[in-house]
Amino acid sequence: MPLVSTSSIVDAAREAQIGAAAFNVIHLETAEALVTAAERTDTPLILQLSENCIRYHGSLLPITRATLALAETSTAPIAVHLDHITDATLVRQGVAAGVGSVMVDASALPYTENVAATAELTAWCHEREVYVEAELGEVGGKDGVHAPGVRTDPDEALAFVRSTGVDALAVAVGSSHAMHRRTAVLDKDLIAALRATLPVPLVLHGSSGVPDDELRRAIAAGMTKINISTHLVSVFTHSIRETLTANPALVDSRKYVKPAREAVAEEAARLLGVLTTPAPVPDQLAAQAPARG
């Protein structure tokens, strides 16, 4: 199946009131696992390449071209997106390589500078029909700048969207990057207020720390694009630890990476089901409750 656009996945999910899954690539093995999950479930998926991932691989082109090749040859609808890009040069390199969407991350800058930098890159991307996500203020845990208690103000967010022209906005509603336990509780009232105020889809970063039911409730409240990375990285690492503990003499890395790749594919497929299954409405919840008396 040809590469699809991030906008087509996000817009369809928003219309259906389900989640648009966006899972991060760390290396080729995770990219393969994520594509396998999308194919097994026949679910659209956005593969994300972060600035950290690009720097780990030494440059943008090798991992980006490999990820694009996997997407282009997949039987599932796959988009490729650059995530948390602070370097404008990487944005331009990614677009030249064939990536159809980027997250322009100028959130560490003061508000006025964030607006100016984001607006400039957004205009450049739109001239090339590239979809742009941005972030207003840093989501909790990113570089330690904000505590998880930070919240996005709907009116300020609307002003930011109007001033920059971005197509989607990452908002702070109670999640935090790099959480290793799935214990976050999101502000669903704020999500609903943001959804009612903003003309663009809402993006949840730090979703690894959010339990399944809470993700469903967040989507029901108005969240659309759901970014997950740390949780799937943990699955990969845990599998390798288990395999090497059980077989300490293993030398061939394929023999411990392959089961880790499969473990990520299984968990990613499960998460795709979670994100695309609507949360029960109150009447349904009442019907599911056990009878009393």
- 90-99 pLDDT, tens per residue? 999 999 999 9
Dist. CA 170–CA 186, nearest whole Å: 14
CATH architecture group of domain 6-283: Alpha-Beta Barrel (3.20)
Residue positions annotated with a catalytic role: 83
Burial string for 209-219 (b: 16+ CB within 10 Å, else e) reads bbeeebbbbbb
The whole-model pTM stands at 0.90
pLDDT given for residue 138 in this prediction: 53
pLDDT tens-digit map of 149-169: 678 899 999 999 999 999 999
| Segment 74-88 mean pLDDT | 97
Hey, which residues does 101 pair with through a beta bridge? 81, 131
Q: Do residues 227 and 48 lie in contact, with contact meaning Cβ atoms separated by under 8 Å?
A: yes
Outline where the chain has alpha helix (H).
Answer: 6-16, 28-41, 51-56, 60-73, 88-97, 111-127, 154-164, 188-197, 212-221, 230-246, 254-275, 282-288
Radius of gyration for the chain, computed over Cα atoms and rounded to the nearest angstrom: 19
